[in-house]
Chain A
Amino acid sequence: MEAFGLLLHGFAVLLTWKTLVLMMVGLVLGIFVGVLPGLGGPNGVAILLPLTFTMDPTSAIVMLSCIYWGALFGGAITSILFNIPGEAWSVATTFDGYPMAQQGRAAEALTAAFTSSFIGSLVAVLLITFLAPMISSFALKFGPPEFFAVYLLTFCSFVGLGREAKHKTVISMSLGLLLAGIGMDTVSGNLRMTFGSPELLRGINFLVAVIGLFGISEILLTMEERLALRGHAASISLRVVLGVWRNLPKYWMTLLRCSFIGCWLGITPGGAIAASFMGYNLAKRFTKDPESFGKGRIEGVFAPETAAHASGTAALLPMLALGIPGSGTAAILLGGLMVWGLNPGPLLFVEHKDFVWGLIASMYLGNVVGLVLVLTTVPIFASILRVPFAAVAPMIVVSCAIGAYAIQNAMFDIWLMLGFGIVGYVFKKIGIPLAPFTLALVLGNRAEDAFRLSMIGASGDLKVFWSNGLVGSITTLAIVLLFWPAIDNLLGRVGWRPRAKTAAQ
């Protein structure tokens, strides 16, 4: 009940004309970046972050989170109308969304996608509303060893549960952690890994790295491919919307199941990609007519969109409650909080109640407004794709450069952005994942501080990470997750693997 009262207070903080206008601007910009080839949620948020530097933290985070919702909605437009998944998690949406568009049911598919996105996000926001305060009040009891154990758990689960080659995830993560350590050591004041360069004294700002890794590299990758588009135009009528909504109760189990999967994979670092495919596969598995999937079945749009959006939204839960982002975009939003001097984690709920509850309230409002906006403006946003990429690409490059420069007013950061753009391009092409790199860059200093404080408190004894039940359980779980592929393999050999998983394989 307390959460409900605080949420109402959040709405009171939010409901000012200024914030509502910023919310609309954020949503429009978000849909715009979601639709444009070569951009997406994380890039959009990172590039547009400088726009918020002069705002108060609440307005800024509301605008940024609305850019994020907008980008999530916008991605479905290209997937369904053009068979071009803007993000990897939109791939599953194309399986049935595009065939529906080919059958002249584009409006129905788009309504289904937007509605299920809304439902997935709503379930995740409800989870955040009621769970985040509980987790954060529990986390207030954490000391440095517990925090380091949680960071370790995050890193280990990326390695153990990730789909990429393990050594590539390890390379990506350790490189990110190392780069986070460049500059002045926060504890001793010593300079580390600067090699006498005054530019490196400031360290490497992770937002600069993100803009290069995601923005510039995406432009290089997009340019590499054929940029011809062939797709359907669509406008959504009220009759179609009401028709889809009337049939929603028929799919309640799919929606509920996918929301649950999405929330789970959002909180753990499974991510929206795994959620969307898992949601799609489960919907196919539990249907009486699996053969109809892939041929334009509306449930094939509901399932991945619900799961992906629930996952994308739920990733904000560990960010707010523990200061540990569950996704690349959550990591960028976390960076934004740090820019405004806010320290994400349990204390945020105590020290900045207005901010946290204003943000949570904006998640509800942003999703409702976003749903109405996309349903009414699809033809306008779809026509953005008529703009030639040769005009869009240099504009994105300029936006990236503005974003990179504005963070620290340093010309060096523009060069750094370009360097990270090349790194991102090469890493993506050889399968080194970028999400662990971003996460490590964001959490590197915090993890190191927690480790050092733990070790100082224990006079260098590593047993501190098993000194009580809580920290011991988290550390042990981290190690289990790190070696999960081997453990899973072993369980399979001795016949202990869970039946559902064996069947799925």
Chain B
Amino acid sequence: MPQPELEIVVDDPTAPEDESPSVVCSGTIEIFICLLLLALAVTLGYDNWRTGASWDSTGPEPGYFPFYLSVILGGGSLYGLIAARIAHRKAAETFVTRAQGRRVMAVFVPTLLFCLVTQFLGLYVASFLLIAGFMRLVGKIALWKSLLTAFVFTAIMFVTFDIAFDVIMPKGPLEAAFGY
């Protein structure tokens, strides 16, 4: 049987270790999420009750349909809470390990900063900073490659959306200096 050569190999220098300790188990997160959803159901249910969740002369009031949905959400969350409590005692499946958590944060934190920077410097500058920064700091890719990729990608996005398709994106002082 012919054994072909493996021709595409991409290594991952930042891969998480296999034996990383667990930060939190799925059962705990499930309980936490059910509690949050229960709180949300109570809040939304109250707001719909306040808006009007019964009948008047014209038919169902605005809060009628969403109020009963809040009840269903609350019921589902309560059931989930009990089910998760029972299952929690039996097994503790890992939700995220420390190494995985670090890697998720390595994407999440830059994305959060990107959203923040977009508000002040516009989307294109924020995009350039995110791509160049992420490639350099997280991917350990050569600086010139990171800067060039970020510039080319941002320029393509600008030409595609703002110029070719007339989809106007949030701008900042840099674009303003160029008259956009």
Residue ranges of A at the interface with B (Cβ–Cβ < 8 Å): 50-51, 53-54, 81-82, 101-104, 106, 165, 167-168, 170-171, 174-175, 177-178, 181, 185, 187-188, 190-193, 195, 216, 219-220, 223-233, 382-383, 385-386, 388-391, 393-395, 397-399, 401-402, 405-406, 409, 411, 414-415, 418, 421-422, 425-427, 429-430, 432, 448, 451-452, 455-456, 460
Q: Which residues of A contact B59 (CB under 8 A)?
A: 452, 455-456, 460
Q: Which of B51-84 touch A at CB < 8 Å?
A: 51-52, 55, 58-66, 69-70, 72-73, 75-77, 79-80, 83
User: Which of A50, A191, A219 contacts B161 (CB under 8 A)?
Assistant: A50
Residues of B within 8 A of A (CB): 1-4, 6-12, 14-16, 26, 29-30, 33, 37, 40, 44, 47-48, 51-52, 55, 58-66, 69-70, 72-73, 75-77, 79-80, 83, 95-96, 100, 103-104, 106-108, 110-112, 114-115, 118-119, 123, 127, 130-131, 134-135, 138-141, 149, 153-154, 157, 160-161, 165-170
Residue contacts A-B, CB under 8 angstroms, 19 given: A50-B161, A54-B167, A104-B2, A174-B70, A190-B52, A192-B48, A192-B63, A195-B47, A220-B108, A226-B12, A228-B12, A230-B10, A391-B135, A391-B149, A393-B107, A398-B131, A405-B123, A411-B119, A411-B170
**Contacts known (A192-B51, A390-B138); A406 close to B12, Cβ less than 8 A:** no
**How far is A377 from B25 in the complex, measured between Cα atoms in Å?**
44
- Assess the B161–A391 pair: CB atoms within 8 A: no
Q: From DSSP, what is the main secondary structure of chain A's interface residues? A: helix
Residues of A within 8 A of B161 (CB): 50-51, 402, 406
- Which residues on the A side are within 8 Å of B169 (C-beta)? 402, 405-406
Give the residues in chain A near B166, CB-CB below 8 Å: 54
A385, chain B: closest CB distance, angstroms: 6
> Taking chain B's interface residues, is the majority helix, strand, or loop, or is none over half, making it mixed?
helix
| B9 interface neighbour in A175, A227, A229, Cβ under 8 Å | A229
Bound complex: CA of A422 vs CA of B165, how far in Å?
A: 30
Residue of A nearest to B82 (CB): A167
A429 and B29 within 8 A (CB): yes
Contacts of A385 in B (CB 8 A): 8, 10
Q: Within the complex, what minimum Cβ distance (angstroms) separates B45 from chain A?
A: 9
Measured between alpha carbons, how far is A414 from B117 in the docked complex, in Å? 12
| Known A-B contacts A219-B107, A388-B141, A456-B60; A226 and B16 likewise in contact (beta carbons under 8 Å) | yes
Query: A residues within 8 A CB of B1?
Result: 103-104
Tell me if A402 and B6 are in contact (CB < 8 A): no
Contacts of B170 in A (CB 8 A): 405, 411
CB distance from A102 to the nearest CB of B (A): 8
| B134 with A390: CB separation less than 8 A | yes
Contact A171–B80 (Cβ < 8 Å): yes
Q: Contact: B119 with A426, CB < 8 Å?
A: no
Give chain A residues whose Cβ lies under 8 Å from the Cβ of B134.
Answer: 390, 393-394
Q: Determine which of B11, B65, B111 lies in contact with A228 in the assembled complex, contact meaning CB atoms within 8 Å.
A: B11
Question: Are A398 and B65 in contact (CB-based, < 8 A)?
Answer: no
- Complex Cα distance A185/B51, Å? 11
The answer to whether A227 and B62 have CB atoms under 8 Å apart is no
Taking the closest CB of chain A, its distance from the CB of B105, in whole angstroms, is 10
Complexed CA–CA distance, A389 and B141 (Å): 11
How many angstroms from the CA of A399 to the CA of B14 in the assembled complex? 24
Indicate which residue in A51, A192, A232 contacts B8 across the interface (CB closer than 8 Å). A232
6 new A-B contacts, CB < 8 A, other than A171-B77, A429-B26, A430-B26, are A50-B165, A193-B47, A227-B12, A388-B135, A401-B118, A452-B60
